[in-house]
Structure 1
Amino acid sequence: MAARADLGLLALGFEGSANKIGVGVVRLDGAILSNPRRTFITPAGQGFLPRETATHHQQHVVELAAAALREAGVTMAQIGLICYTKGPGMGAPLRAAAVAARTLAALWRKPLIPVNHCVAHIEMGRLATGKARPVVLYVSGGNTQVIAYLNQRYHIFGETIDIAVGNMLDRFARLLNLSNDPSPGYNIEQLAKSAPRAAAAGGGGGGGEHGRLVELPYGVFGMDVSFSGILSHIQAIAPALLASGGATAAELCYALQETVFAMLVEVTERALAHCGGDSVLLVGGVGCNERLQQMMRDMCADRGAVLGAMDERYCVDNGAMIAWTGMVDYARSGRAPEWAELYCTQRFRTDEVHVHWRDD
């Protein structure tokens, strides 16, 4: 891919689709020069609402942009391109980040590129792991999709038919009154590691004894998955189990992880078999989970494939993934949309995007 002379080789990206606001600076050769972010953390037992989340983003976006430039050792004059998340996501937070990006682009007369949040996760994953043509499992608070690339499109093989896996984990964490710092899913993961059965199953932690595995519904429907029934079931049985000693909070977290991750591995394995692929890429915030990574790695090993996984720096929403995706888009097309096209949308599917920067 030839770099355009007017690109300046540097892109500044703004991400704010959910409870994280991030700004990143990326170079056209793939070097990530900076990637600071801030997370809106609510009290234990509470979720985050759009209006309050947008206010958080507005309060931090200016300092983050300055920090991103400072850490990268560059000035706005050296930035060749500004990118922002067009969608999908929560309306008010999306607009908070987009307004900041649009303002800077207007003040500094820079091209402004809208980016699909889901595609940005994939492109960042490909960059960070070096997996060129993987089957992708995208798991986050707002999305759950099994994806494969063909003919300049990311095709969705399967997805959730109700709520995303990350949203389900967050809502279960509220039932247990777990902290939202650094995230509900992370704290579920740590509790699950402490369950006795987790050590025997390879999940880490515990004393090696076989504990009680709470049986939960298994919601796989062809290539699609469903999490609302599992959530309703565990919400219904958890209070009595915890009160009677029938299960500990750690055992409930372990059982929930094992069940939903097995579902995700199953549909990903079928996509991998169908595509004849040699690699799987985990992206999205839930993709940081070490137990999910281990289960997926075991499946890949059985099929002669390899897993591409990342830590929270690049798996969780961040500005660098927006900068990188906008950069490869613009470097190939050379076109910045008209101002009337530079809006946000809460619904923007992965398979709507023409991935014109890929020729493989």
Structure 2
Amino acid sequence: MLCLGIESTAHTFGCAVVDEKGRILSDARAVYRAPEGKGIHPREASRHHIEASHGVLKEALSQAGAGMKDIDLVGYSAGPGLGPCLRVGAVVARTVAGYHKKPLVPVNHALGHIELGAALTGASDPLVLLVSGGHTMILAFLEKRWRVFGETLDITIGQLLDQFGRAMGFASPCGGRIEKLASESSGQYLHLPYVVKGNDVSFSGMLTAAVKLASTSKMADVCYSLQETSFAMLAEAVERALSFTGKKEMMIVGGVSANKRLAQMLEMACERQASRFFACPIKYAGDNGAQIAWTAILDYKKTKKAVKIPDAFATQSWRLDTVDVAWR
């Protein structure tokens, strides 16, 4: 079985072909780049996706050495995400599946991050930290659903990094630039609000304080302190969740999982709890079509459920803990 996966939740329009053994046969992407100091404008990003969609789809099929006649299934990211961007992906998926008479499977984007991460790392029953521009959640699987053991109370860790970076005039996404600047710091820590409530975290106060500090302190030291404080909050919440759940595996997925310092902190937390640490490979940490294709395969093989072409949907708000997972 070959599945074409289409991803379009935010700045990335991606297509990939994956087989039923989890082999990624192709991975093509086009990324919308916002002007420096600006965030993702949904209308502009969706326009980018419209213009890029044909070329990305063609490239994905070419890399896989396949045509649509070889594709057995089409999966698409149905949410959560930016409405205009989601709708572009849904329209492309509907068009391709309808014209070529292929089953169409809607996929929860967050679930895609987890399932591809598990496939690529070999984690079987992990506590998961999902960290990206759209998510900051600590999750464990129980009775056919991913259950939330902690999450952000306001902005996500990805939003913290991006909003701080944009305030400094950086181009989005800003995480890589902040990580580089943090590595250039002498280790001078600047006090920032540390807010952990149970297993939940709050970053909005830290954002305000960091922006204010940037006007009087070295940028490298502010970036260092921003990372150290926010990542320590996440590591504390994860370690508490590991202790509570007794999980012997911990996996980090999502775009922010590419940050080496965050991974280092989490590894130390896992060592203290005698848990194995898994991190999604950097190449697939960000949004991509492979996560959608693989999750669609898992779903369809187990349930044989597909949506009728006219009923294909896209929803900006689709919480992961509302999704039934039949294949685990």
- TM-score bracket, normalised by the shorter chain, equals over 0.9
Count of matched residue pairs: 328
Structure 1 runs of 4+ aligned residues shifted over 6 Å read: none
Deviation of 1:24 after TM superposition, in Å, equals 0.7
Counterpart selection for 2:225 from 236, 255, 258: 255
Gaps of 5+ in 1: 1-8, 198-211, 242-246
- Show CA shifts across 1:204-254 (max 9, x none): xxxxxxxx2100000111111111111111122321x1xxxxx21111000
Name the counterpart of 1:203: none
Structure 1 contact 83–322 (Cα < 8 Å) conserved: yes
Structure 2 contact 116–295 (Cα < 8 Å) conserved: yes
Spell out the pairing of 1:141-220 with structure 2 (5 A cutoff).
141-180=133-172, 183-197=173-187, 212-220=188-196
Counterpart selection for 1:223 from 180, 199, 202: 199
Spell out the pairing of 1:28-67 with structure 2 (5 A cutoff).
28-67=20-59
Name the counterpart of 1:88: 80
Name the counterpart of 1:71: 63
Structure 2 contact 34–41 (Cα < 8 Å) conserved: no
Spell out the pairing of 1:329-340 with structure 2 (5 A cutoff).
329-340=299-310
- Show CA shifts across 1:44-90 (max 9, x none): 11111110000011111111111011101111100000000110000
**Corresponding position: 1:237 with 2:213:** yes
The one-letter code sitting in structure 2 at the alignment partner of 1:23 is C
Deviation of 1:338 after TM superposition, in Å, equals 2.8
Structure 2 contact 135–156 (Cα < 8 Å) conserved: yes
Structure 1 contact 45–175 (Cα < 8 Å) conserved: yes
The separation in 1 between residues aligned to 2:90 and 2:129, in whole angstroms, is: 27
Structure of higher CA gyration radius: 1
**Corresponding position: 1:354 with 2:328:** no
Structure 2 contact 98–309 (Cα < 8 Å) conserved: no
Gaps of 5+ in 2: none
Structure 1 contact 11–26 (Cα < 8 Å) conserved: yes
Deviation of 1:337 after TM superposition, in Å, equals 2.0
Name the counterpart of 1:324: 294
Name the counterpart of 1:293: 263
The separation in 1 between residues aligned to 2:68 and 2:48, in whole angstroms, is: 24
The separation in 1 between residues aligned to 2:282 and 2:288, in whole angstroms, is: 9
- Show CA shifts across 1:323-360 (max 9, x none): 000110001111212335410000000111100011xx
Structure 1 contact 138–284 (Cα < 8 Å) conserved: yes
Partner of 2:77, secondary structure, is strand
Structure 1 contact 176–249 (Cα < 8 Å) conserved: no
The alignment yields a C-alpha RMSD, in angstroms, of 1.0
Partner of 2:247, secondary structure, is coil
- Show CA shifts across 1:167-200 (max 9, x none): 11001001222233xx311110111111111xxx
The separation in 1 between residues aligned to 2:192 and 2:311, in whole angstroms, is: 46
Partner of 1:35, secondary structure, is strand
**Corresponding position: 1:98 with 2:73:** no
Name the counterpart of 2:315: 345
The one-letter code sitting in structure 2 at the alignment partner of 1:190 is K
Deviation of 1:293 after TM superposition, in Å, equals 0.6
Structure 2 contact 38–171 (Cα < 8 Å) conserved: no
**Corresponding position: 1:113 with 2:105:** yes
**Corresponding position: 1:308 with 2:308:** no
The separation in 2 between residues aligned to 1:159 and 1:312, in whole angstroms, is: 23
The one-letter code sitting in structure 2 at the alignment partner of 1:220 is V
Partner of 2:13, secondary structure, is strand
TM-score, normalization by structure 2: 0.98
The separation in 1 between residues aligned to 2:243 and 2:94, in whole angstroms, is: 43
The separation in 1 between residues aligned to 2:266 and 2:306, in whole angstroms, is: 39
The separation in 2 between residues aligned to 1:265 and 1:138, in whole angstroms, is: 12
The separation in 2 between residues aligned to 1:213 and 1:289, in whole angstroms, is: 19
Identity %: 43
Name the counterpart of 2:123: 131
Partner of 2:214, secondary structure, is helix
The separation in 2 between residues aligned to 1:294 and 1:341, in whole angstroms, is: 44
The one-letter code sitting in structure 2 at the alignment partner of 1:194 is E
The one-letter code sitting in structure 1 at the alignment partner of 2:194 is Y
Partner of 1:251, secondary structure, is helix
The separation in 1 between residues aligned to 2:260 and 2:87, in whole angstroms, is: 33
